[in-house]
Structure 1
Amino acid sequence: MSELLSRWAGLALCGIGLVATLALAAAGDLTLYIHPRYVVFTVLLSIVGAGLFAAAVWVTATGREGAHDHDRPATGRESDDDHDHDHDRPAPPRSYRTLSSVVTGALVIASAGALLVAPPMTLSAERALSSASAVDGGGDVPRPSLVGSDPTRFSVRDWASILGSGATAGDLIGQQADVTGFLLIDDAGAVRVGRYAVTCCTVDAQLFAVPVVASDLREDLRSGDWVRVTGTFTDDAGATRLSPATVDAVEEPDAPYLS
């Protein structure tokens, strides 16, 4: 069993990754993990990888990668080192081999479950609440101009960058916001509506969030619910927050990340 796992575990993990990637692409869910601009590149690379994977399976199955000098006909000129270089090496303890087999098998099974069985999911509100979130857009997002623009077309990221630049409720009088995102309700009861932006993949995902007046929120809504919020900005206890006129529960968008 130990020898079997050592020969096939790596290939099994590669195969699981290839199947998962191509299955996500076929279902249109690959954008839950990478930016849409990289989908075609990822699929093409996976197809090339599938060809290399098939070749690797063939080589492993036929044992060509394990060719050894002992398989060559004897010439009568072999030195003792040609025969003893492996046999003098002590075998690892049986307990070590058993533990290694168990860990390797568990890794393969866990990978198959995570990539092939578990349904694809977007980054969660729990992740956002457990990490530092930037309502100012991280300082690297240009602030959209309110002059000559339709603010109802601004995204959560746009409003987050505007608020992060120091805009107050007084600066935003008469500006109507219309944003869609998921609710973030922390342990203190503070409410935000947020959304992730992805530059390359979910590893570099950045949260953008806009604070909302908690008292104006419907009681049946929970953290993580996707909502569409319309309203205006107001001064709430010295902080600029979005005061909702309407809050409607919506389905998670097909493209949940801002790009």
Structure 2
Amino acid sequence: MVAVKAMDERTQAVLLLALAAISIRLGLSSAALAYIKPGLQPALLVAGIALALLGGHGLLRSLRSGPSPGGDGADHDHRHAPGVAWLLMVPLLALLLIAPPALGSFAVDRQGSAPPASAGVGFLELPAPREGAVDLALREYVSRALYDPGRSLDGVPVRLVGFATPDDDGGYRLSRFTVNCCAADATAFSVEVVGDAARPPDTWLEVTGRWEQRPGHEPGTLSDEPPVIVAEQVSVIPAPDEPYEY
């Protein structure tokens, strides 16, 4: 049974090292931003180092214990059972070698197009314009467009960044996720783009335009539909290093 125990410890140690490699890789690269907010990367790196130390210690201990002197016979029949645990390495290696993309239009559709509610109070002064337009996060644009009774966006050219999410009318919404901690708690914010042709799903865009009040909706009241932006200029851009807003 010593051989079986050694194999068990060795398997556990290697799995810990694989998890450590993934954590360290994510902690040192922008790939982690598909899962967590930037402020959590140092904690992920520390966790990876701790897992590496534990895995390394366990592997050395299992190697030092060695096989049992009479490891043939009954023990030999059981050595293959712990080997099933090595199948757990497949998804871990896939995660290590192939980083999945950040949440996109499919996840937006699963959440639905109804915008999150907002208190609609305490809006700060808009930032100074850059090259003729005010840069706004999608989340802030949605909040101001729907819930600001002071209509701070009225007549103001704004610039938004997000990815295309096709809608049922042949157009598209500009969408982006906001996270508080990680992708598991991500909330999608979307605006309906008017004045531009349909775009392929998940195409990252920079849209410059102006707010237009949606008929039947009074700013400051709840809405079941996303706000509107009338596009004046739309540019295809590379996906940003930080795909989420925080």
TM-score (norm 1): 0.71
Alignment pair present for 1:126 and 2:128: no
Higher CA-based Rg = 1
- Change over 3 Å in CA distance of 1:41–1:148 after alignment to 2: closer
- Cα pair 2:37 2:181 within 8 Å, conserved: yes
2:145 is equivalent to residue 163 of structure 1: yes
The letter of the residue matching 2:109 is: L
| Pair 1:206-2:187 in alignment | yes
Aligned-partner Cα distance in 1 for 2:163–2:20: 31
Q: Conserved in 2, the CA contact under 8 Å of 1:143 and 1:161? A: no
> Equivalent residues in 2 for 1:83-232 (5 A)?
102=84, 104-113=85-94, 115-133=95-113, 135-136=115-116, 138-139=117-118, 144-145=123-124, 152-165=134-147, 172-189=153-170, 191-213=172-194, 216-219=195-198, 221-232=199-210
How far the C-alpha of 1:110 sits from its partner, in A, is 2.4
- CA gap of 1:143–1:179, structure 2 versus 1, over 3 A, is farther
Q: Please list every run of 5 or more consecutive structure 2 residues that lacks an aligned counterpart in the other structure.
A: 69-77, 218-226
Q: Which has the higher helix share?
A: 1
Partner-residue secondary structure (3-state), 1:139: coil
The reply on whether 1:234 has 2:212 as its aligned counterpart is yes
Give the Cα–Cα distance (whole angstroms) in 1 for the partners of residues 245 and 126 of structure 2: 23
Q: Deviations over 1:61-85 (max 9, x none)?
A: 3349x99xxxxxxxxxxxxxxxxxx
Find the aligned partners of 1:167 and 1:107 in 2 and give their Cα distance: 54
Gaps of 5+ in 1: 68-93
State the Cα distance separating 1:101 from its structure 2 match: 5.3
Aligned length: 223
Looking at structure 2, the residues matched to 6 and 142 of structure 1 have their Cα atoms a distance apart, in angstroms, of: 58
The CA distance in 1 between the partners of 2:60 and 2:120, in whole Å, is 50
Aligned partners of 1:187 and 1:25: how far apart in 2? 39
C-alpha distance in 1 between matches for 2:143 and 2:86: 47
Q: Distance in 2 between matches of 1:146 and 1:32?
A: 31
Q: How far did residue 144 of structure 1 move?
A: 3.0
The structure-2 alpha-carbon separation of the partners of 1:142 and 1:117, relative to structure 1 and needing over 3 Å to count, comes to farther
RMSD over aligned Cα atoms: 3.5
Cα offset for 1:140?
Answer: 6.8
| 1:174–1:10 CA distance, 2 compared to 1 (3 A) | same
Q: CA deviation at 1:212?
A: 1.6
Specify whether residues 17 and 208 from structure 1 end up closer, same or farther in structure 2 by C-alpha distance, changes over 3 A only: same
SS at match of 2:232: strand
